Chain A
Amino acid sequence: MDLSPIQNAVASGSYATIADACDELMLQVASRGIAYQEDWPFTVHLLGHIFANDLNSARFLWKSIPQGFKESKPELVAAWRIGQCLWTRDYAGVYDAIRGFEWSPEVAGLVTAFSENYTKKMFQLLSSAYSTIGVADVAHFLGMSEDEATNYALQHGWTLDSSSKMLTVKKPKIITEQKLDPSKLQRLTEYVFHLEH
């Protein structure tokens, strides 16, 4: 079984493409009637879906994995725990799941990249959802200690009221592109022509 497309994706750090590559390759291999499950990189496949935030595919993949594998491969189970926490919106649990396992060199890069992405996304969520939020919660949602979380927030322009331990959120400025190019004029002409006929 030639797994090089997947191995290359992992090695080159193009983590966002892993899931699609795995999906397609699995279908191709299955169509040839090969009993692929024994050697299939389920952990990488699962983490690929988690990285792409495609929890539906992660769930379906998990359901299709034979029970025996789930019992004999602790890394696979640990990867699924991350997916479970994401699915049940156990925001802090995700960090515990990431840190609670000694990842093999094969997937360590992927897990680290996911972890950084996730922290960023959580911070963005907090910025858009809260006007004021307690330090303890920020630490909880970012998987950091209260001091680390406070520093992180302050670096991004938030302000701290030390007496009440409340952070005030600074909304990021949204830069929206508004340049139009001349081809738009062509399009508008087409629309008017169409409407008049």
Chain B
Amino acid sequence: MAMESVEAVVAHIQGLSGSQEEVAHLHSLLKQSEDALRSQAARLGAFFHQLDPSVHTLGYLFLLEAYSSDPVCREQDGDFLLSIVEFINSCSAEQIRLAPEKFISVCKSFKDKVMQLQVPIQGIVPLRTAIRKLQASSEQLTTLHSDYLLLCLLAKCYKAGLSILDDDIFEVDQPRDLFLYCYYGGMINIGLKRYRKAWECLHNVITAPMTTLNAIAVEAYKKYILVSIILSGQVPLFPKYTSSTAQRNLKSHTQPYVDLANCYATGTFSELEGCIQTNLEKFQSDSNLGLVKQVLSSLYKRNIQRLTQTYLTLSLQDIANAAQLKTPREAEMHVLQMIQDGEIFATINQKDGMVSFHEDPEQYITCGMIEHIDSSIHRLMALSKKLGSLDEHMSCDPAYLTRIGKERPRFDFDEFDSVPHKFL
């Protein structure tokens, strides 16, 4: 097809956005006009007002993508951003999904622009809307997920990240998306002090399939070590399903952190402080100093918690000595804070200066607890069903069958073979 003029393309868009068949036809016309649009990007700005983003979504998208790929057009700051926000808000999700790469490209230009102008907060609601429109379901991970979390981090609107982060993901298109999404997710959870959730996110990064080591996994492992210490006082071994690449290489790239974990295990405050001082610059340049400081203050808690395993009652003076605190009053305040945070079950007897440690009083028989267990079982059943159907799906997949067919030892032709011969 000859090079179309922009006017002609716009006329097509206006005329062919009625039904699904029309839009499909329009789609092929637009694909043929891509070069024309790109070469005339500077002119496109004048045409947007002739189109309605909610009705002419697909056409508008092609124009917008050509426009935003042009560096000169991108310099039109304010209007450029607002027109994309407007588009995202009014576009039709159905039409968007016909050209997802173009939509993603527009959104990425948008994100780059808000970051360049240092107004990440401006991009949060639009990207959230964009994700919801792009996703086929809330279980699907898109490239935009990690961009969204990045903006939340930069704008310090951590809570805004949760609306996306709390979705359970079952489908991933691009492995790189998963790495970044889980890494940023870990950082958001750390900011919100949801350490268990942060641990899960970071765990996903380091145990994801990897043939070569990547920088995201290394950074994630650094934070993983710190969060593990804060949560449980130690760093767990790599689970069996961790890639051998990760198992062989992660530790050597994160030596200061591994050292810190070993130092923590000795339980001495001054030794830990010393270890931190030695590697201070490294922690700072990795932007992990805040987390490292939290590791330090968790040592008091860890030492006090250890006492509960040995003693039923202990004097405040003894607690102060064991936890390397200066006065019994300091010990009392630490214990009080741990009681407030639910990290310890104890009662302070000021008259005698003693603390009694208790068992967790939870009896697991209240209605509230039953509801909790109930919903957990429900989630597990749903997950189990999902895994079952994934398994079924995979056992019918030709690629999979070819693979196991090839790896099976060849016996007699008459040998009963459950893998059809065409896959061998």
Instruction: Report how far A184 CA is from B350 CA in the complex, Å.
Output: 45
B131 to chain A: closest CB distance in Å?
A: 14
Known: A33-B78, A133-B350, A191-B381. A176 touches B156 (CB 8 A): no
The reply to whether B366 and A176 form a contact with Cβ atoms under 8 Å apart is yes
Q: Is the CB of A28 within 8 A of B350?
A: no
Q: Is the CB of A57 within 8 A of B159?
A: yes
Interface of A is mostly: helix
Is residue B237 contacting chain A, with contact meaning CB distance below 8 A?
no
Is the pair A131, B349 in contact by a Cβ cutoff of 8 Å?
yes
Alpha-carbon distance between A184 and B377 when the two chains are bound, in angstroms: 13
Contact with B along A114-136 (1 / 0, CB 8 A): 00000000000100111111100
State whether the Cβ of B339 lies closer than 8 Å to any Cβ in chain A: yes
Q: Quick one: which of B125, B191, B192 contacts A31, CB cutoff 8 A?
A: B125
A56 touches B192 (CB 8 A): yes
* CA gap between A5 and B339 in the complex, in Å: 37
Provided the pairs A33-B122, A56-B158 are in contact, do residues A191 and B377 lie with their beta carbons within 8 angstroms? Answer: yes
- A26 to B346: give the CA distance in the assembly, Å: 42
Q: Indicate the size class of the contact surface on chain A.
A: 35 or more
Q: Is B348 an interface residue (CB 8 A)?
A: yes
Establish whether residues B81 and A27, one from each chain, have CB atoms under 8 Å apart when the complex forms.
no
> Considering only CB atoms, which chain A residue lies closest to B381 in the complex?
A194
For residue A97, CB closer than 8 A to chain B, the reply is no
B365 touches A176 (CB 8 A): yes
Q: Which residue of B lies closest to A62 (CB)?
A: B156
Cβ–Cβ contact A177 & B366, under 8 A: yes
Please report the C-alpha to C-alpha distance between residue A24 and residue B163 in the assembled complex, in whole angstroms: 12
- Confirm or deny: B370 has a beta carbon within 8 angstroms of a beta carbon on chain A: yes
Which of B81, B125, B374 is packed against the most chain A CB atoms within 10 Å?
Answer: B125
Instruction: Flag whether B351 is at the interface (Cβ < 8 A).
Output: yes
Taking a contact as CB atoms under 8 Å apart, the answer to whether A27 and B349 are in contact is no
Q: How far is the CA of A64 from the CA of B152 in the complex (A)?
A: 13
B143 to chain A, nearest CB (A): 20
Contact with A along B76-95 (1 / 0, CB 8 A): 00100110010000000000
Contact yes or no, A177 B368, CB < 8 A: yes
Convert B125-154 into 0s and 1s, putting 1 for each residue whose CB lies closer than 8 angstroms to a CB of A.
110000000000000000000000000000
Which A residues contact B (CB, under 8 angstroms)?
A: 23, 26-28, 30-33, 54, 56-57, 60, 63-64, 89, 125, 128-134, 137, 164, 166, 176-180, 184, 187, 190-191, 194
Residues of B within 8 A of A (CB): 78, 81-82, 85, 119, 121-126, 155-160, 191-193, 333, 335-337, 339-340, 346-352, 356, 365-368, 370, 374, 377, 381, 384
Provide 17 A-B residue pairs closer than 8 Å at the C-beta atoms, listed in order of the A residue. A23-B160, A27-B125, A30-B121, A30-B125, A33-B82, A33-B85, A56-B191, A57-B159, A64-B156, A125-B340, A128-B347, A129-B346, A132-B351, A133-B350, A177-B368, A180-B370, A184-B370
Beyond the given A63-B156, A176-B366, could you list 10 further A-B residue pairs with CB under 8 A, ordered by the A residue number? A23-B157, A23-B160, A27-B160, A57-B158, A60-B191, A125-B340, A130-B350, A133-B350, A164-B351, A178-B367
